[in-house]
Structure 1
Amino acid sequence: MPPKGSKRKAADRAPDAAPAGEAASRRSTRHAAKAVKQEESDDASARGNKKAQQQVARGNEGAGKEKVEAASTLKSENVDDDKTSSTRTGGYPTTPDGHYFLVRCRLWRCADPSLPAEKRSELQKVLMTARRNLTGRITDAKVREEARQEVQRTKVALGERGDVWWDEGEVADRKMVWNTGYKDWWEGLSEGDRKGQRKSK
């Protein structure tokens, strides 16, 4: 038989046990709330990082695209100048009237043969300097635009662009040869010449 007063002591201790349980429950709730808040913070951070990564990726993609476009523009400018420069026409099939030479089935205007040799040489030097500013690593837009305009002016002076230097004959600048009056001449060429291949020296 339990001693007298034991039930009393147990009853006296019971009220203290309830607050202790409530405190533990509150602590557990706070911990759970903190955990949820931390998870939400981590999720937000992850979303932010993902968004930042996507922005960086888009930026890199845009920069890459700009580089590709710039490289494509440089290549186009370089090829165009190589074709039409009077220093590059040697070895390509030339029309009987001497007005055009053929490169990959397209007609490109020859320089004016009536230009004095000294004047031609001077213009060629100016042209080559301007071309270096276009085909080199110069990225300044103003410098490149000035160089492009210089190329245009010089080629006009050489007779390769602008008004034609002959009085009679067809104007067929940059046209596919089979769409011009030079079609019969072209069809009579050898297979290699018809493609506008350069003859080795």
Structure 2
Amino acid sequence: MARWEPGARERMVVAAVDLFTEQGYDATTVAEIAERAGVTKSTFFRHFPDKRELLVAGQAALSELLTEGIATAPADATPLEAVGAGLQRAATMMTSFNRELYPKIQAAVAANSELQARDALKSVGLAAAMTDALVARDIPEPTAHLAAELGVLAFKRGWAAWTQAGQGELGTYAAAALDELRAAGAALG
């Protein structure tokens, strides 16, 4: 495959996940990922600073979509309604490619403590982005932070249900997860 063909970023992610599954994260080199993806090492480093970042490749775009959705929610939206708008906006980015790749990514993360730490940082970053977007809507910081954390949890729960179902739209599953969490919060008293 010529290195100038489109889709290099996606091919590198797939190649990395496949190699991580086959031989483990630690045993996989950047050179092997690049070779399997049909790109050069310099192409790899133009897209990713290191192999660890492959598994969180879409985090910046995801954070941006979440915050856009929150910012454009109706002015009278509650904090959780604004978070729900963010989840719906972020869901538009997810395709069957993401759904099919997720089990392999999950297995790679589960098998490596470094990747587990990076995955945890991703959640923190998503919550911080949503908190900032809610604070920009004049939501008090403690309320904004709690709503953002519930948003991250709803996204994770919705994502897991969506990938397990193998059909439908992520937004539907994320909204259902947020509704379940809202009900659970009300039960706390």
Structure with bigger RCO (C-alpha 8 Å, 6+ apart): 1
Higher helix share: 2
Taking structure 2 as the reference length, the TM-score comes to 0.24
